Copies of this chain bind each other. A is one copy, B any other.
Amino acid sequence: MVPEEQETCCRGAGAMHGPERPCCRRAGGGGGGALVEPAALAALLNRGAHGYDVRRAISELTGGELEVDAGGLYRVLRRLEAEGFVVSAWSEGDSGPQRRDYEITSEGRELAEDWLSHLRERQRVAGLLADVLSAALAPSKV
């Protein structure tokens, strides 16, 4: 992993650098849409883990393209638990800082399926709009 070229305007879900173009700047909030929650679910589908590990898993599963904020991830995990999509328990006996082990529930699995279709839909709409934009930018090149 050699991230020398950080051209990616949306490294995480909206990291940017150039204060020039608002198009990128506007990725601040929901810029790319909700990504952390589905990413966390995907990581937990593979295997139960604690938050810090989930973060690493997300990075690995996506080839380092999705680096989620740790704070945000913990928030998402707590919320998912409050809504019954994951369960957690303090992992005891280990040395080191306390860890909270998460596991996905059957409801969480259903939620992941919903996310899947949702993401496909989002992908489709983004492509559709991109095509429209592309056509509008180069009408002569039809």
Cα separation A122 to B130 with both chains bound (whole Å):
10
- Residue contact A125 to B38, C-beta cutoff 8 Å: no
Cα separation A82 to B4 with both chains bound (whole Å):
25
Cα separation A122 to B115 with both chains bound (whole Å):
16
Cβ of A29: which chain B residues have Cβ within 8 Å of it?
A: 29-30
Instruction: Choose from B111, B115, B136 the contact partner of A42 (Cβ within 8 Å).
Output: B136
- Interface size bracket, A side: 35 or more
Label chain A's interface by main secondary structure.
Answer: helix
- Residue contact B22 to A83, C-beta cutoff 8 Å: yes
Q: How far is the CB of A34 from chain B (nearest CB, A)?
A: 5
**Which residue on B lies nearest to A33, using beta carbons?**
B33
Q: How far is the CB of A134 from chain B (nearest CB, A)?
A: 6
Does A128 count as interface, using CB distance less than 8 angstroms? yes
Cβ of A32: which chain B residues have Cβ within 8 Å of it?
A: 30, 33, 122, 125-126
Q: How far is the CB of A59 from chain B (nearest CB, A)?
A: 11
List 4 additional A-B contacts (Cβ < 8 Å) besides A33-B33, A39-B129.
A29-B30, A38-B133, A41-B133, A62-B128
